[in-house]
Structure 1
Amino acid sequence: MKTAALILSILLGFSLTARAQVGGQRGFPFLELPGSAKQAALGGVNVTAGAHDVNMVTANPALLSEEMDGQVSLSYVGYLADIKQSHAVYAFNSEKLGRWAASINYLNYGDFVQRDASGMELGTFNVNDYTLALTHAREMEAFTIGATAKVAVSSIAGNKAVGVLADAGAVFKHPEKDFTVGLAFKNVGYQVKTYDGGERQEMPWDAQLGLTYKPEHMPVRLSLTAHRLYQFDIVYLDPNAPAKLDENGNEVKEEKKLGDKIARHFVVGTEFVFSKNFQLRAGYNHLRRKELRLDNKAGGAGFSLGAMLRVRNFELNYGSAFFHPSGATHYITIATSTRAFLKKKSS
């Protein structure tokens, strides 16, 4: 039977924050889930590897570029049970108003059995989250600045919480080399409406800094992204974890290590660029691996893989992210450019 516990585990477990220190205290954790196959394949956190993928404007609004004009994209991912996520985005350029992108992100957690205090079935109810967003970016020589305004809604059986949020970002692209530096402030906002009887929650904001570099004669593009920049120590030691014993049977107290504190802030992504029509991708998220592993094994938690295949005007992206040792979550993204169809129609 599906229960509210499953919803809680998805929101707190699949959320990229994995913030065990403040678990449940921040609202709208679904905002930190990757919305597309490329972002998922690169480790889930990336503010510089935009290229022509319009989905990356949700990672950093400053990645919106001329290459994305007229591009429309649809993404889909299925999580556990009936939990599904869909994401759609469209970019366009106006001579008077500049460059824009509009997107919608929707998560449906399925239908749940509603019961009264005695356990009697009263029917069913559904749970869903969604976001409506509008992005604007402007180029200034080698720099691009961008901002996204969005409304987030979480609904449980018709009881809704609403938040108004914004992302802001900046990107520097080297004029000669394939080198990009990006900075993004994510999900800064306010919960304008709480659940009935609930307390107002803090938004899942974050500050992220990253770079992407492709050596001139190598078919590899490397990305390194730092996140949770507002707090150095994000290591959580579970007080309820089973005690560890040394060879003499004495309890060993777990301690926080400096290297682990630093590593949890970084996500590594790699793109193997075989051609403009075919790429392979891989990523590693150390925070995800440490927070979402089991006590006795980690499996593939924290790792991710993906690929891109372009055929004529269509591009297919696939991403596979291991949130947990039990298996991977699979992302599918399909994109095309409306400009090609408009040219054919006009001719």
Structure 2
Amino acid sequence: MFKKFLFFSFFMVCAVSQGQIGGKYTYQFLNLVTSPRQAALGGKVITIYDDDVNQAHFNPATINADMDNHLALNYGSYFGEVTYGTASYAYTYDRHLQTFQAGVNYVNYGNFEGYDENGLATSSFTGSEIAVNLGYSYNVPFTDLHIGASAKLISSTLESYNSFGGAFDIGALYIDERNDVNWALAIRNIGTQFSTYNGINEKLPLEIIVGVSQELENVPIRWHLTLENIQQWNISFSNPNRAQSSFSGDSINEKVSFFNNALRHVVMGVELFPRKAINLRIGYNFRRAEELRIEEQRNFSGISLGFGLKMNKLKFNYSYSRYTLAGNTSLFGLTVNFQ
């Protein structure tokens, strides 16, 4: 039943959605990957159900008692001087109340040199954004269905402009233990601005994600398939650098096919030895690969790699994500088990 619901939701939502998603919303930092494991698997994986407390950032339904007293800290250098990081902690107060999770996401955009309209230097400035969340998950009695919700408070400072907002995420996770398959649905960033930058209220980056993953029998591999941004079918854009010239000399914009646009919703990842002390991960993000592709030059955009290393009560994670020839990102994470 849950699988039919996911299938129906995907096609109904896509059927009524149109237009691109870039540049429309505020607080876009909420969509940054929150951990090296997420990044290495291509991003936005919502089906992982184990002791990884980082998973609550993208699907609160994954919060469970195995995360109890785990603290995760992650840090990464994005592009230029931009840095960002996350923290997540889970605590099981009572077995009947399930488990609570608290976390924080932040991004610092570095320093900028200020100039007036005449090109004269003024004072330098910076920008930063932060979100604090509290999440909770509940296992529906006598079922394999888990539902969860997470509330977020968001603060943003860009030069002399400030904004404050709130949002919440909701998620569902169905665990088919017989076939070792997880099905998940997450609706993220449902919220609004409480105060705006300059009096204009902007929308938050609402996103609907569905996913499925399976651990293969007798093979130490778990694969992940994620469909992102299914609330909007057309997420493509015509790259002006790929425009072609007609016989008359006119410029013809790039046409994105139905199949190409469909693939841009897809994120795939594979985790080797998911239950061992050493994990190897690889992912591929089709949308990133297509948007950052360079004509007649192979740059492997969209590929991500990573690993996890567990040592007693510590676990170290690392990921490397390929974006362009000029910029790629590494993300480092440390998880501590205080039990």
Describe the SS at the equivalent of 1:232.
coil
Deviations 1:176-221 (A, max 9, x none): 3421111000111112211025x21111011111111011111110
Name the structure 1 match of 2:172.
170
Deviation of 1:272 (Å): 0.6
Describe the SS at the equivalent of 1:202.
coil
Distance, in Å, in 1 between the alignment partners of 2:263 and 2:145 is 29
| Aligned ranges 1:220-231 → 2 under 5 Å | 220-231=221-232
Cα distance, 1:50–1:77 mapped onto 2, change above 3 Å: farther
Q: Does 286-295 or 61-70 show the bigger shift?
A: 286-295
Cα distance, 1:54–1:274 mapped onto 2, change above 3 Å: closer
Name the structure 1 match of 2:203.
202
Cα distance, 1:105–1:298 mapped onto 2, change above 3 Å: farther
Paired amino acid for 2:138: R
Cα distance, 1:334–1:151 mapped onto 2, change above 3 Å: same
Distance, in Å, in 2 between the alignment partners of 1:111 and 1:253 is 37
Name the structure 1 match of 2:189.
187
Q: Does 288-297 or 124-133 show the bigger shift?
A: 288-297
Contact 2:72 2:89 (8 Å CA) reproduced? yes
Name the structure 2 match of 1:265.
265
Distance, in Å, in 1 between the alignment partners of 2:228 and 2:332 is 25
Distance, in Å, in 1 between the alignment partners of 2:39 and 2:153 is 23
Paired amino acid for 1:310: K
Deviations 1:244-268 (A, max 9, x none): 3599999766333221122111110
Distance, in Å, in 2 between the alignment partners of 1:80 and 1:252 is 32
Distance, in Å, in 2 between the alignment partners of 1:297 and 1:188 is 39
Contact 1:227 1:266 (8 Å CA) reproduced? yes
Distance, in Å, in 1 between the alignment partners of 2:30 and 2:289 is 20
Distance, in Å, in 2 between the alignment partners of 1:337 and 1:124 is 42
Deviation of 1:66 (Å): 1.4
Name the structure 2 match of 1:304.
304
Distance, in Å, in 1 between the alignment partners of 2:237 and 2:294 is 14
Contact 1:289 1:298 (8 Å CA) reproduced? no
Name the structure 2 match of 1:320.
320
Paired amino acid for 1:85: Y
Question: Any runs of at least 4 consecutive aligned residues in structure 1 with deviations exceeding 4 A, and if so which?
Answer: 245-253
Q: 5+ residue gaps in structure 2?
A: 1-17
Distance, in Å, in 1 between the alignment partners of 2:257 and 2:115 is 47
Deviation of 1:235 (Å): 2.1
Distance, in Å, in 2 between the alignment partners of 1:251 and 1:124 is 41
Deviation of 1:127 (Å): 0.5
Contact 1:293 1:325 (8 Å CA) reproduced? no
Name the structure 1 match of 2:338.
338
Q: Does 1:71 align with 2:70?
A: yes
Describe the SS at the equivalent of 1:241.
helix
Name the structure 2 match of 1:122.
122
Describe the SS at the equivalent of 1:259.
helix
Name the structure 1 match of 2:80.
81
Describe the SS at the equivalent of 2:260.
helix
Name the structure 1 match of 2:39.
40
Deviations 1:91-148 (A, max 9, x none): 0011275311000111111122233344443332220011010101111231111001
TM-score, reference length from structure 1:
0.85
Deviation of 1:274 (Å): 6.7
Distance, in Å, in 2 between the alignment partners of 1:204 and 1:49 is 23
Contact 1:207 1:227 (8 Å CA) reproduced? yes
Describe the SS at the equivalent of 1:31.
helix
TM-score, reference length from structure 2:
0.87
| Aligned sequence identity (%) | 30
Aligned residues: 319
Cα distance, 1:50–1:245 mapped onto 2, change above 3 Å: farther
Name the structure 1 match of 2:237.
236
Contact 1:167 1:187 (8 Å CA) reproduced? yes
Paired amino acid for 1:39: Q
Name the structure 2 match of 1:147.
149
Distance, in Å, in 1 between the alignment partners of 2:102 and 2:252 is 52
Name the structure 2 match of 1:11.
none
Name the structure 1 match of 2:6.
none
Deviations 1:248-295 (A, max 9, x none): 999766333221122111110100117520110011111111122334
Cα distance, 1:83–1:254 mapped onto 2, change above 3 Å: closer
Q: Does 312-321 or 266-275 show the bigger shift?
A: 266-275
Cα distance, 1:22–1:312 mapped onto 2, change above 3 Å: closer
Cα distance, 1:308–1:330 mapped onto 2, change above 3 Å: same
Contact 2:74 2:334 (8 Å CA) reproduced? yes
Cα distance, 1:253–1:114 mapped onto 2, change above 3 Å: closer
Distance, in Å, in 2 between the alignment partners of 1:296 and 1:156 is 38
Name the structure 1 match of 2:98.
98
Q: CA RMSD in A?
A: 2.3
